[in-house]
């Protein structure tokens, strides 16, 4: 289940691809304020435990979304960027909490 917290009366969200080996997830959203929103989220490890700076991961999310009539591309991108930023900060809090609880 994907909980996006995006504003809508109803949101149909689909997990289009989950690749554990490549650390890639693709999601699409149809019935939403972000019409035909499709995103790809990928994880990229930086450093290594052996180098003493491991355990860090960069999360990259890219997306495409329709711009409805009466909206500008900038407004639509600003809205989507705000939602993505909130989701990525939430992901960071959860994973940092898990990492800290595993180090106890």
Number of domains in the chain: 1
- 24-35: per-residue pLDDT in tens? 888 887 656 788
The CA distance from 42 to 98, in Å, is 19
Q: Is residue 8 part of a domain?
A: no
Residues of the chain below pLDDT 50: 1-2
Question: H or E element: which one contains 18?
Answer: strand 13-19
Q: Which domain holds residue 81?
A: 13-102
Q: Is residue 56 part of a domain?
A: yes
Indicate which CATH number applies to the domain containing 91.
3.30.530.20
Q: Is residue 6 part of a domain?
A: no
Q: Is residue 36 part of a domain?
A: yes
Q: Determine the pLDDT at residue 99.
A: 79
Q: Which of 58, 77, 59 is nearest to 68 (CA)?
A: 77
Q: Determine the pLDDT at residue 2.
A: 47
């Amino acid at each position: 289940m994907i909980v996006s917290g995006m504003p809508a009366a109803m949101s149909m969200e689909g997990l289009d691809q989950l690749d554990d080996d490549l650390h890639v997830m693709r999601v699409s959203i149809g019935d939403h304020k972000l019409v035909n929103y499709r995103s790809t989220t990928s994880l990229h490890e930086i450093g290594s435990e052996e180098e003493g700076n491991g355990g860090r991961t960069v999360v990259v999310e890219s997306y495409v979304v329709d711009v409805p009539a009466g909206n500008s591309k900038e407004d639509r991108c600003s809205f989507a960027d705000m939602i993505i930023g909130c989701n990525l900060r939430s992901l960071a809090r959860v994973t940092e909490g898990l990492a800290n609880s595993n180090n106890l």
